[in-house]
Amino acid sequence: MEFKAELLERTEAAEQVVFSFLPEEEGLQKTIFSAMNYSVQAPGKRLRPILMEETFRMFGGRNEAVLHHFMAALEFIHTYSLVHDDLPAMDNDEYRRGRKTTHKVYGEAMGILAGDALLHHAFDTAAGSFLLADVDLGAAGKALKILTEKSGINGMVGGQVVDVEMEGKTLNDEQLDFIYRLKTAALLECAMMIGATLAGADENTVSRIEMIANRVGIAFQIQDDILDRISSTEELGKPVGSDEKNHKMTYVVLHGLEDSEKEVERLSREAVELLDSFEQEHTFLKELIVSLIHRRK
């Protein structure tokens, strides 16, 4: 199958999995369910669950029911981070995924609560996998630990903290790399590491996968910075020029557009080279990584 058609198929399949774990909109607290569903159902790329599933397949994973719980959990965490990132105290943005941001529709308090709720729901969903038939509890436990670490204070939240503190300041390459590694790459590492772990891969293999996802994640963030400069709100589904508005030092500010594009290409090629050192079949995963180099959204 042609790559674009295959990607569409995988995106729709991942979406069905994620949506199947969303709450019913009923009960006295139904506003929070509605805000959670609004945020998750907005059209995202579903990159993290797709990466998780592909890595799981690459290593011959079998228990898809367990995988599905973790795919949904990670997309919930990613979505909570976007909801909170858009809040007035953070980037204060009005559009996300082509729609009004959650706090613009439901109000600021409900925006905060929707993010909190998605975070809790993520861990409830992941923990639910422990109760499934034929679950490898050791692998599920390791996957839960990866999810916690990569999204928390030594992962995404930690990166966001430094990013916020450094607003308006000049950063060097090392500091910028720290922020990108934690803020963005950590969740992509999380996706691929959990896929490999649930498929039963050993520790050394999971570390090699972490390294690949790290390169993909940093390239992904630099491309995000490039698009913030050169794209349009219509194409991106979120405001452009957001980094400048928030006085954010980015790779593009530090190195210019041309060198940033070269760096995205270099990191992605390095990821592909590392991936090619595996004998397991990984055609779609490789095509996906290459497609991200020139992504427009």
Q: Which residues bind ligand GRG (CB under 6 A)?
A: 44-45, 47, 78, 81-82, 84-85, 97, 156-157, 160, 183-184, 221, 224
CB 75 within 8 A of CB 49: yes
CB 136 within 8 A of CB 153: no
d(CA 228, CA 243): 7
Nearer to ligand GRG, 77 or 198 (CB): 77
Point out the residue whose Cβ comes nearest to ligand GRG: 44
Nearer to ligand GRG, 112 or 211 (CB): 112
Nearer to ligand GRG, 47 or 285 (CB): 47
Task: From residue 12, give the alpha-carbon distance in Å to each of 9, 37, 81, 134.
Answer: 5, 16, 22, 27
Nearer to ligand GRG, 97 or 248 (CB): 97
Q: How far is the CB of 82 from ligand GRG (least distance, A)?
A: 6
Q: How far is the CB of 39 from ligand GRG (least distance, A)?
A: 10
**Degrees, nearest 5: CA angle 83-126-41:** 35
Q: How far is the CB of 134 from ligand GRG (least distance, A)?
A: 31
Structure tokens at 100: 């009004």
Q: How far is the CB of 97 from ligand GRG (least distance, A)?
A: 5
Residue reference for tokens 């980015």? 250
Q: How far is the CB of 194 from ligand GRG (least distance, A)?
A: 16
Strand partners, 249: none
